[in-house]
A and B are shown apart, each in its own frame.
Chain A
Amino acid sequence: AQSVTQLGSHVSVSEGALVLLRCNYSSSVPPYLFWYVQYPNQGLQLLLKYTTGATLVKGINGFEAEFKKSETSFHLTKPSAHMSDAAEYFCAVSDAGNQFYFGTGTSLTVIP
């Protein structure tokens, strides 16, 4: 089975500062990788995904992530945090086993 580790259950950044949310996965085969965002009382919304091709993936709201196979990582970044970025972020991995595996989430707080 796959596993996903998100380092830091809570991250705080100042408005305008760099956002870095970490995700590492375990996989014996090339995975499909995703980042989701969840706002209070809502479901999860897809931010970006990596399936094949370019390892730097751009998503919505200015977020991007880089797939590093050698480090088994898929960290999420945004150059400049906005107040509206405050939310819960989930990293997920899937493989051909027809199942998704989610990390435990990182709560992002943006300080004005």
Chain B
Amino acid sequence: KAGVTQTPRYLIKTRGQQVTLSCSPISGHRSVSWYQQTPGQGLQFLFEYFSETQRNKGNFPGRFSGRQFSNSRSEMNVSTLELGDSALYLCASSPDGTGFSSPLHFGNGTRLTVT
């Protein structure tokens, strides 16, 4: 099975712009989660989608949004970019319908740099 695929791998944007990141989960996985990873903060949970519905959301401003499509692929969008949004954005998928006893499977991330 193919793993979790994230595109693009690297992005450079300017403050004030918006960006869209894409994630294709492992085939058959219906849950997709997004995390922001920075050296000072570790992994911060953004949101989780299951069957096109946002099931959980972390403590991020409304500039961060996401969606999931019927084929389980997911996108996240960040509007009005700030310098502090520079980070590695990780997508993870899981098959679970209820609870998280199955592990998360991570993609290699998208490295976003805001200048």
Contacts and interface: CB of A to CB of B under 8 A. Distances in A.
Contacts of B43: 90, 102, 105
B99 A43 contact: no
Nearest to B45: A99
13 contacts: A41-B109, A43-B6, A43-B92, A44-B104, A45-B106, A46-B105, A92-B104, A94-B99, A95-B99, A98-B31, A99-B45, A99-B48, A102-B42
Interface residues of A, number: 25
A49 interface: yes
Contacts of B104: 34, 44, 46, 92, 100
Given A36-B106, A98-B48, 20 more contacts: A32-B99, A34-B104, A41-B108, A42-B108, A43-B92, A43-B109, A45-B106, A49-B103, A51-B101, A90-B42, A92-B104, A94-B99, A95-B100, A97-B99, A98-B50, A98-B56, A98-B100, A99-B56, A100-B104, A105-B43
Contacts of B42: 90, 102-105
Contacts, number: 67
A43 B107 contact: yes
B109 to A, nearest CB: 5
Contacts of A90: 42-43
Chain B facing A: main interface SS? strand
A9 B28 CA distance: 36
Interface residues of B, number: 27
Contacts of B106: 36, 43-45
Contacts of B109: 41-43
Interface string A81-101: 000000000101011111111
Nearest to A102: B43
Interface in B1-52: 4, 6, 31, 33, 35, 42-43, 45, 48, 50
